[in-house]
Structure 1
Amino acid sequence: MTSTSTGIDRTSTGAGVRTFTDARRWAVIGAELTFEAVAGLDDAGYAAPSALPGWTRAHVAAHVAANAEALSNLVHWAATGEPTPMYASPEERAAGIERGRALPAARLTAWLRRSADALEASMDELTDGQWRHEVVTAQGRTVPATELPWMRSREVCVHAVDLATGVTFADLPGDFLVALCDDVAAKRAAAPGPAVTLRAGAIGAGWELPGEGEPVLVTGELHDITAYLTGRAAGPRAADGSPAPALGAWL
C-alpha cells in the first residue's frame, strides 16, 4: 500500500520543511511536466540542444528515463533486502544514456513514460517498514528508501526545465523550489566557492553560502534564485547591480 504517514521532515533554511508526502507529490508533478515538455517532439526536436551544455534533448530524456529504472532498482532493494545498485557502473550508466538518445522519437518518449510509470507503481507497493530500509545511491550515500521520492522529484522537475521546450523554474511548485534551494545551498556550503547571501524577497526566504571574500547579496524572485543556485542561469544581479558571482558545479 502507499505510505502517507512515513516521512522525513527537515528544517528548511528557507520557509518550511520537506516531507515524504511533499516529495511523492512533486515527483508526480515533475513527471507530468517532463511528459508535457517532450510531447510532440520528433527526431529533429529531440536532436535540438537542451539547456545542458553538450547534451541534446534526447540525452536529457534518456537520462531521466534511465534514472527511473535506476531508482526502481533501489525500490527493489528496499522491498526485498537484496542489494541492487542503481547502475552496474558509471560506464554502463553513460552507455545507457547513449543508447537511449539514439532511439527514434516515439520509442524514446515511450521509454520515458513507461519507466516513470513503473517507478511510481513500484513505490506504491512499498510498506511503511520497507520505506525505512536503507539503500545505497549511485554517489555511495546510504539513505533510507524514504529519500527516493525526493531524488526523483529533483530529477524530473529540474530536467523538465533542461529540456528547453518551454517549461521554466517559474512553472515548478513554490514549496519544491524552497526545498531545492535548501538542498543545493547545503551542498554548496560544503564546497569551495564565493560567499553569497541569497534573498527571495517575495516569500522572505534566504540562504547563505559561506565562502571566500565578503558576502555578496543577491536578491530576486524565488524561481530566479533557484535557477542561479542550480547553475541553470546567470541568475539575478547582485544588490549593487553587478553580475551575481559565478558558482561552480552543483552535482
Structure 2
Amino acid sequence: MMDHADDLLSVHTATERLLTAVGSLDEAAVTESSRLPGWTRGHVLAHLARNADALANVLEGRPMYVSGEARDADIDRGAPRPLDVHLADLRESAGRFRAVGAAPADWSRTVRLRNGVTDRAERVPFRRWAEVELHHVDLGIGYELEDLPAGFVEREIAFLAQRFAGHPDVPATGLASDDGRTWATGGGAPGGPVTVGGTAAGLLGWLAGRRDGSALAVRGGGLPLLPPL
C-alpha cells in the first residue's frame, strides 16, 4: 500500500546518503563521465536538483518543467558548476521538495507530470525516491544496484513491470527473483511467454536500462528488448 509519508522519509534518507557520498568527491570527479551516456557526474547532480524542484511544481499544481528544451538547458548550464555549488543546490532543492511534501494536501488527487503523464499525488514521493536512488548508482562512485534498499528494489521492479505491461513492443514476460518473488509485464507483442530470472538487483538493472540483462536466465525465447524509459 502506498504511504506518501513513509516515502517522503525514505527520500530524505536517500538524499542524505547521496549528499554524504558526493561530499567526499573532489572537483575533478564532478567533471568526469557518469554511467549515463553523454552526461558527466555534474549533469546527473544538476538533473537531481532540478527534478526536486520539478516534482515540487507537480505537487503544487504547476507544470513540471517549462518545456523539454528548458529542462535540458538547465541541466547543461548547471553541470560544470563547482562541487560546493552542486551540494548546496542539492540540499536546498531537496529541502523545498520536503517542505511541499509536508504541507497539508489531498494526496488522492491526480497530478500531471511530463508528456501528458498523470498519476496520483501520493505516488510522487516514490518517484522522487527512485530518482535519487537510481541516479546515485549512475554517478559510478561506489553505490551499486546491490546496495539499494530491498524494499525499494521490490517496489521499483513492480513499478517498471507495470509501466511495460501491455506495451506493443514487449511480449508477455514473467519475472522471477532468486528469492521467489514474481512479477509480470509486457503482453502487447508476439513471442511470449518468456520467463526472465535472476537477482532482484539484476532484474531491476535490466528493467531500468542500467544493465544489459546478460546475467539473467531467460526461458521461452530471447531476452525481450525493452523500450527506453
TM-score range with shorter-chain normalisation?
A: 0.7 to 0.9
- Are the counterparts in 2 of residues 33 and 157 from structure 1 also a CA contact under 8 Å? no
* 1:247 alignment partner, one of 221, 226, 229: 226
Query: How far did 1:207 drift?
Result: 2.9
**CA deviation string 1:138-180 (max 9, x = no partner):** 2323333222212211111111111111111222221211111
1:115/1:244 CA distance change after superposition, 3 Å:
same
Pairwise CA distance, 1:183: 1.2
SS at match of 2:194: strand
After superposition, residues 38-117 of structure 1 pair within 5 angstroms as: 38-77=22-61, 84-117=62-95
Q: Which runs of 5+ in 2 are unaligned?
A: none
Letter of the 1:234 counterpart: D
Runs of 4+ with deviation above 6 angstroms:
none
Task: Please report the TM-score for the alignment, with normalisation by the length of structure 2.
Answer: 0.87
SS for the counterpart of 2:143 is coil
Larger mean CA deviation between 58-67 and 165-174 belongs to 165-174
Identical counterparts, % of pairs: 34
Q: Structure 1 unaligned segments of length 5 or more: list them.
A: 1-8, 10-17, 78-83
Question: How far does the alpha carbon of each residue in 1:38-59 deviate from its partner, in whole angstroms, 9 at most, with x for none?
Answer: 1222331011111111111111
Greater RCO between the two (CA within 8 Å, min separation 6)? 1
The counterpart of 2:186, out of the listed 183, 206, 209, is 209
TM-score with structure 1 length normalisation? Answer: 0.80
Three-state SS of the structure 2 residue aligned to 1:131 is: coil
Q: Does 1:146 align with 2:122?
A: yes
| CA deviation profile, 1:37-96 (whole Å, cap 9, x unmatched) | 31222331011111111111111111010001111222333xxxxxx2121111111111
| 1:226 positional shift | 0.7
Aligned mate of 1:200, from 177, 181, 191: 177
The alpha-carbon deviation at position 195 of structure 1 amounts to 4.2
Distance 1:23 1:139 in 2: 24
Match of 1:27?
Answer: 11
CA RMSD of aligned residues (A): 2.2
3-state SS of 2:141 partner: coil
Partners of 2:25 and 2:205 lie apart in 1 by: 24
Task: Provide the aligned length of Structure 1 versus Structure 2.
Answer: 225
- Secondary structure in 2 matching 1:149: helix
